Chains A and B, each alone.
Chain A
């Protein structure tokens, strides 16, 4: 919380409504979640096959959460630098003695906090299902943790991509389009199509070309329901995540360096 940029970014999430309205909203949300939890708890309790129902539900929730934050994160990250430029505040930000690292990490951290907040909201629900499922042996703790890890790293990668575009493309809207094109268009759709095409050309039926392992959907699927027939998949998944991390840091580093240059040349 020492970082002024982080504090400022968090401030901007604040809802500009009166206190009673805020309080009421929070109460309603809590109430809805409470009802949801009770409902799910009861139906699981009455279910004939508690174990697999719970693990199905847990998987579903983890998938939804994964895809949800993957869409959500770029949406809030794209404004990070482009908006400063649009509203002509970037120069003054760079002019201040704040370090560019401070600015960039402040902005990323604020978004990570926002994403974590979302994850925390659904966490109890997933926890209940996971506990029941694990109790019945239909779900492994390792897979749940791996799913969370994959979610975090993939979201971090998506944040880094949209930070990069936000810096590079100058407009929030362009950054948003470019980020979705990269994450969904390139990493998910194009990657799958190229992999399929390659495996057809190669004629080998057993799939998993290494290229497929930069596909976030593939990585998450492997994390949650490992392909036991191909043990090497686990390693590919790890490599995929490592690849994401390395790319993320390269992108962030590029932005920091670029902004450093902007600091003394805003012409």
Chain B
């Protein structure tokens, strides 16, 4: 990364996006509302940051401040060392911003739409066709090049909007719920596209309500609630914290006690083992019934997606496992717990 010679502050480390003590207060009809409350965050080049929070948490407000569309009430935002308040035009030239709701010009063709924005970004006429072809193939819209925008499906329009935010090859992308309203297939396609952008070394901030989706391709996540960043940081660290609360339920055909002691010995993966149910005659009988299943629950604290290790060792030890599953075992669960439904 180059050090800017001509003036503006560069003592702001190497961060691509640097937010310090950012707050935004809305004043509407005499009422004050602190939509964003003292948020700090630093993203490096190549980071994919998942910005997660319930409705009204302040995600859009934060993104708009980074995108130079809203002036912060206090605090500062630097994008690639540029102050968003002092140099909004320079910041915009390196930003690709996709708003949460947007429209497209219906009555022109796909390539004309992109050509218009390329021209708006002062890209010379002879370079535009190649760029348009590039962003179209990146967003998988090449076949629609000569179609009218109005003939595109909603997901295609969303991709077209993404293509549009890419024409000036921004270093930083701010995507405000880019996958909202899309069917699962289109969501997967958007995810593929984001991976591609990640490979291209772009710094991406992406907001969403949907956690498991983010977990897959974000290297950092932050959870915001009521304007405050509750947790933020490396996705693995947070996942692990979160996974501590992940509950897995096991049903064994017999030998419940042995299962419990086995689990309790695997303390790098397991904590908090609880027996859920025994057979009816359990109280009279020292032996467990052989006809019904017995369930137990434990908290999984190992690596994400490595629950099989536990299952394997149980199976290896000869236990007859009937079921092994996590009833609500994803980030969403934690998200629900962390955010407690405290919406403004």
Contact = CB atoms under 8 A, between A and B. Distances in A.
A49 interface: no
A91 B70 contact: no
Contacts of A91: 69, 99, 102
Interface in A61-92: 87-89, 91-92
B318 interface: no
Contact of B97 (A5, A87, A95, A98): A95
A70 B210 CA distance: 54
Interface residues of B, number: 30
Contact of B108 (A11, A87, A267): A11
A261 to B, nearest CB: 11
Interface string A224-267: 00000000000000000000000000000000000000001111
Interface residues of A, number: 22
Given A11-B112, A95-B97, A266 B69 contact: yes
B68 A264 contact: yes
A22 interface: no
A4 B102 contact: no
Interface string B58-100: 0000001001111100000000000000001100110001010
B70 A88 contact: no
**Dominant secondary structure of chain A at its interface with chain B:** loop
B92 A264 contact: no
B68 to A, nearest CB: 6
B31 interface: no
Given A7-B116, A88-B102, A92-B99, A267 B26 contact: yes
B324 interface: no
A265 B70 CA distance: 5
A16 B108 CA distance: 9
A88 B103 contact: yes
Contacts of A96: 117, 120-121
Nearest to B60: A267
A64 to B, nearest CB: 30
B174 to A, nearest CB: 11
Nearest to B88: A264
User: B68, B69, B70 — which one has the most chain A CB atoms within 10 A of its CB?
Assistant: B69
Interface string B156-172: 00000000100000000
B102 A7 contact: no
B192 interface: no
A265 B104 CA distance: 21
A19 interface: no
Interface string A96-123: 1110000000000000000000000000
A4 B108 CA distance: 13
A134 B106 CA distance: 49
B120 A267 contact: no
B88 A8 contact: no
For A14, A16, A95, A264, the residue with the greatest tally of chain B CB atoms inside 10 Å of its CB is A95
Interface in A1-45: 4-5, 7-8, 11-12, 14, 16
Contacts of B104: 87, 89
B343 interface: no
A113 to B, nearest CB: 17
10 contacts: A4-B116, A89-B102, A89-B103, A89-B105, A92-B103, A96-B117, A96-B120, A97-B93, A266-B64, A267-B64
